[in-house]
């Protein structure tokens, strides 16, 4: 009888997916996501688009904060840089969208070297404040460079056409978001099981011990910043296209906090956690509204006319509840359920 | 046999045409009801304008419903909160169009939000009248189904600065603006008059959105010796600036713009706000038209809503009146195409709260007439300047 989930070879330990049922469920989920744009109405599809864009951004932050343990309060800075890089290249200089996406990744990656450099000497709260300052500086730079960014007037962005395929419709754009989110998920999962990923985790767990083991802290911390910013920049480009208008106002500081909340609720350091956290945080207000609307039309009206205040309250409440009762997040809860299922009727 | 077939095919064609007609009916309209949707910032600081605009829509709708509705159909108003978050404005608009299936739209939140939601509205083809934040990108280029009631920020500032320049010849000028789209528009409008009238600008400041403390800015303004001051803040900023100037014991001739021309702001400014000039395209509440509007609104809204009335209520009311009138002119079976056609034919429609409203072929902006008004803190109101 199987009494646990034992890895007997090194290959098993680093396998991307370790069991056939997980392959099966992943395939089912992917098929459902492919079918979704044809089944969901335009409103429901906006949630799917937001989830996929947010997953991409959250996975980017997860590399820095979840894997490497470097807290960033200014990730919205990379998000807005990516969005502007795409908008400037595509809308202003009429470059192909693929060049726009390349720029959306590379420009924030270069910017991350500026903010990443202090991280070599700073940790914890001090680093968090540095990244926060970076996001404010980026906003000021964008507003002042009017000749390039149109300042506060913003830049309109059209849905892209890539290699002859138009992503103008919501369904097509959802597929673009799905493709980028899936590639990002695979990339981050692969990073995690590689030498680089193990170095990130070693730095997070104890950077002194990591250094003793021969890990170059400077190089790996900078690499974490660059990778994280690159992915977040891509998410920024997608978000800019979704909004159809890129301006500093469209990227409020609250997005940085929301991203951190996603990682905490999902489970820090886990790609699956970033995905689950995103789904919960994005859908929570709408799900709550739907539940309440079953009981009373008046409660439904309260949710539509006071949506943003209630949303903030719900986020706060969920974070407090998770920190108190499930600090390992949704992934931790999922692991507990799975262990209970496998070991039943035994507890361990 | 051939006759039977012909009869059958004629019947089938007639049925399909009838069915097709029913299928082609636009959403948001039943035998008893017409749905009108709106997305506004109802929470957070910009709620001051979003809530007020929605009250204006409610007043116009209640007025129409009390008069029997639109050709017998009652109007139902569906309101969504976007919290001034652009992504949520897009979601809200899509929800109203796809889930609630509204017939027409009003409002559409702030300037950045309404610009971002434009592709959604254009693609849907739904008749829309925007009233909260009139910015050029909304009507240039003109979109078939989107109409804007109001006046551009640039024109407003030019009108105000021209007036102040004429009344204060040869004086030194000071200006402070916000570091956003609104601030740039104010500055551009100001700069255009500075060039044409050769104004002597001795202070030109810029502040970060959300700034609370204006002590150093106002000290610089005082040191510069500015005698005429254009306060480019919106709400809290203008209050802080005027309070600071009061503390420094200087009182330049001050002009503010219509987003901050709301009575609660004047109340918070106290004596510091007395005599400041403002520009607007809606009537001041202290005037005859304003008083008549308040009288009309009182029985149509709750007490709490009545307290929330400000200038945005008037602009919202006017936009809703124009939309309702256009749907009404379409008769018993209004459609989107007819409503858009009738909106285009809008000519000198009187709303009582601003100059008559007109659109036209290819003209989607009502280009309202502006007027100068002056604050009177004793009555906490703005009075028209003759």
Q: Could you tell me if A327 lies within 8 Å of chain B, comparing CB atoms?
A: no
Select, from the ranges A93-102, A136-145, A152-161, the one with the highest average predicted confidence (pLDDT): A93-102
The residues facing B148 across adjacent strands are B130, B365
B226 and B177 co-located in one domain: yes
Do strands B74-81 and B33-40 pair parallel, antiparallel, or not at all (unpaired)? Answer: parallel
**Distance, CA of B160 to CA of B89 (rounded, Å):** 32
Residue A338's pLDDT is 84
- C-alpha distance from B110 to closest chain A C-alpha (Å): 11
Q: Say whether A307 and B115 touch across the interface (CB within 8 A).
A: no
Max Cα-Cα span within chain A: 70
Give me the pLDDT at residue B306, please. 94
For residue B96, what are the CA distances in angstroms to A42, B38, B93? Answer: 10, 8, 5
Residue B15 lies in a domain: no
Q: Summarize pLDDT for B167-189 with one digit per residue, the tens.
A: 999 999 999 998 887 888 889 89
Chain B residues in contact with A42 by the CB 8 A cut-off are 94, 97-98
- Identify from B78, B79, B94, B152 which residue to disrupt to test chain A contact, counting A C-beta atoms within 10 A and taking the largest count: B94
CA distance B87 to chain A (A): 6
- Spatial distance between the Cα atoms of B231 and A306, rounded to a whole number of angstroms: 32
Record: contact A153-B179, CB cut-off 8 A: no
Looking at the domain assignment, is residue B26 inside a domain? no
Same-domain status, B38 and B139? yes
B91 and A43 in contact by Cβ < 8 A?
A: yes
Are residue B236 and residue B206 in the same domain, yes or no?
A: yes
- The 3-state DSSP class for residue B205 equals strand
Query: What pLDDT is attached to residue A115?
Result: 85
Within this chain, do residues B160 and B144 fall inside the same structural domain, yes or no? no
DSSP conformation letters of B31-88? SSEEEEEEEE--SSTTHHHHHHHHHHHHHHHHHHHHTTSBTTBEEEEEEEE-TT-HHH
Report the candidate in B266, B290, B279, B286 with the shortest Cα–Cα distance to residue B377.
B266
- pLDDT, tens only, B277-304: 999 999 999 889 999 999 999 999 999 9
Kindly calculate the radius of gyration of chain A based on its CA atoms and give it in whole angstroms: 21
The answer to whether residue A99 neighbours chain B at the CB level (below 8 Å) is no
Are A151 and B112 in contact (CB < 8 Å)? no
Question: Residue A275 and residue A317: Cα distance in Å, rounded?
Answer: 20
Element of type H or E holding B371: strand B371-376
The mean pLDDT of chain B is 90
Count of the separate structural domains present in chain B? 2
Of A46, A248, A309, the CB nearest to B43: A309
Question: What distance in Å separates residue A15's CA from the closest CA in chain B?
Answer: 38
Answer yes or no: are the C-beta atoms of B189 and B163 closer than 8 Å: no
Residue range of the domain that includes B178: 154-280
A3 CB neighbour count, 10 Å cutoff: 9
> What's the pLDDT tens digit per position in A263-273?
999 999 999 99
**B305 inside domain:** yes
Q: Which SS3 state, helix, strand or coil, does residue A346 take?
A: coil
Q: Which of B79, B86, B95 sits opposite A250 (nearest CB)?
A: B86
> Do B294 and B345 have their domain in common?
yes
Rounded to the nearest angstrom, the minimum Cα separation between B79 and chain A is 6
B186: domain CATH number is 3.40.50.2300
pLDDT at B22: 39
Confidence category of residue A33, pLDDT binned at 50, 70, 90: very high
- Considering the domain architecture, whether residues B136 and B161 belong to the same structural domain is answered as no
Chain B residue whose CA is closest to A47: B91
Last residue of a domain, one of B280, B300, B321: B280
| Residue B298 forms part of a structural domain | yes
Query: What is the 8-class DSSP label of residue B170?
Result: T
Q: B261 and B296 in one domain?
A: no
B383 sits in which H/E element: strand B381-384
Q: Are residues B216 and B181 in the same domain?
A: yes
């Amino acid at each position: 009888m199987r009494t646990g989930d034992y890895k007997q070879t090194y290959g098993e330990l680093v396998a991307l997916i370790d069991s056939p049922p997980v392959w099966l469920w992943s395939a089912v989920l992917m098929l459902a996501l492919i079918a979704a744009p044809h089944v969901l109405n335009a409103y429901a599809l906006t949630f799917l688009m937001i989830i996929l864009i947010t997953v991409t951004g959250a996975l980017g932050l997860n590399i820095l904060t979840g894997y490497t343990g470097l807290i960033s309060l200014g990730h919205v800075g990379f998000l807005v840089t990516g969005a502007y890089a795409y908008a400037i290249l595509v809308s202003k200089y009429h470059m192909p969208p693929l060049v726009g996406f390349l720029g959306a990744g590379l420009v924030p990656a270069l910017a991350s070297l500026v903010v990443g450099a202090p991280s070599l000497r700073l940790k914890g709260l001090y680093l968090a404040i540095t990244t926060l300052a970076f996001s404010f500086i980026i906003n000021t730079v964008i507003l002042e460079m009017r000749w390039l960014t149109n300042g506060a007037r913003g830049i309109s962005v059209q849905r892209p056409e890539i290699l002859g395929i138009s992503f103008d419709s919501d369904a097509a754009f959802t597929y673009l978001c799905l493709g980028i989110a899936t590639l990002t998920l695979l990339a981050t999962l692969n990073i995690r099981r590689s030498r680089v990923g193990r170095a990130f985790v070693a730095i997070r767990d104890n950077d002194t011990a990591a250094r003793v083991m021969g890990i170059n802290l400077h190089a790996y911390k900078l690499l974490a910043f660059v990778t994280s910013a690159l992915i977040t920049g891509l998410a920024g480009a997608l978000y800019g296209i979704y909004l159809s208008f890129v301006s500093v106002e469209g990227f409020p500081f609250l997005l940085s906090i929301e991203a951190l909340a996603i990682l905490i609720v999902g489970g820090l350091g886990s790609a699956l956690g970033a995905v689950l956290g995103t789904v919960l945080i994005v859908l929570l207000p709408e799900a709550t509204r739907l539940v309440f609307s079953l009981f009373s039309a008046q409660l439904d009206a309260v949710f539509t006319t006071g949506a943003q205040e209630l949303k903030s309250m719900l986020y706060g409440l969920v974070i407090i509840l998770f920190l108190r009762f499930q600090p390992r997040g949704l992934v931790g809860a999922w692991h507990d359920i799975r262990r209970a299922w496998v070991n039943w009727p035994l507890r361990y | 046999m051939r006759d039977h077939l012909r009869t059958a095919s004629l019947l089938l064609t007639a049925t399909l045409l009838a069915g097709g007609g029913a299928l082609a009916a636009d959403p948001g309209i039943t035998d008893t009801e017409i749905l009108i949707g709106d997305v506004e910032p109802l929470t957070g600081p910009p709620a001051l304008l979003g809530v007020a605009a929605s009250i204006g829509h409610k007043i116009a709708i209640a007025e129409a419903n009390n008069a029997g509705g639109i050709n017998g159909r009652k109007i139902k108003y569906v309101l969504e909160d976007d919290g001034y978050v652009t992504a949520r404005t897009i979601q809200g608009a899509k929800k109203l169009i796809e889930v609630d299936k509204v017939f027409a739209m009003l409002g559409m939140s702030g300037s950045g939000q309404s610009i971002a939601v434009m592709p959604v509205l254009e693609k849907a083809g739904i008749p829309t009248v925007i009233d909260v934040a009139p910015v050029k990108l909304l009507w240039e280029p003109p979109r078939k189904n989107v109409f804007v009631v109001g006046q551009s920020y640039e024109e407003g500032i030019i009108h105000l600065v021209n007036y102040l320049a004429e009344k204060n010849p040869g004086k030194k000028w000071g200006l402070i603006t916000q570091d956003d789209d609104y601030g740039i528009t104010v500055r551009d409008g100001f700069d255009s008059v500075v060039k044409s009238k050769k104004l002597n600008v001795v202070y030109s400041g810029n502040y970060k959105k959300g700034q609370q403390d204006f002590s150093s800015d106002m000290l610089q303004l005082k040191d510069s010796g500015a005698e005429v001051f254009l306060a480019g803040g919106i709400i809290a900023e203008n209050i802080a600036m005027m309070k600071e100037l009061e503390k420094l014991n200087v009182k330049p001739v001050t002009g503010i713009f219509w987003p901050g021309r709301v009575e609660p702001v004047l109340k918070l400014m106290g004596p510091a706000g007395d005599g400041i000039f403002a520009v607007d395209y809606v009537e001041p509440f202290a005037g005859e038209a304003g008083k008549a509007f308040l009288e009309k609104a009182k029985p149509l809204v709750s007490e709490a809503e009545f307290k929330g009335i400000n200038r945005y209520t008037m602009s919202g009311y006017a936009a809703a009146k124009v939309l309702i009138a256009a749907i009404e002119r379409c008769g018993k079976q209004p459609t989107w195409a007819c409503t858009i056609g009738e909106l285009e034919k809008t000519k000198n429609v009187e709303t009582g709260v601003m100059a008559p409203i007109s659109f036209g072929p290819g003209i989607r902006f009502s280009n309202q007439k502006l007027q100068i008004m002056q604050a009177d803190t004793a009555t906490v109101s703005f009075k028209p300047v003759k």
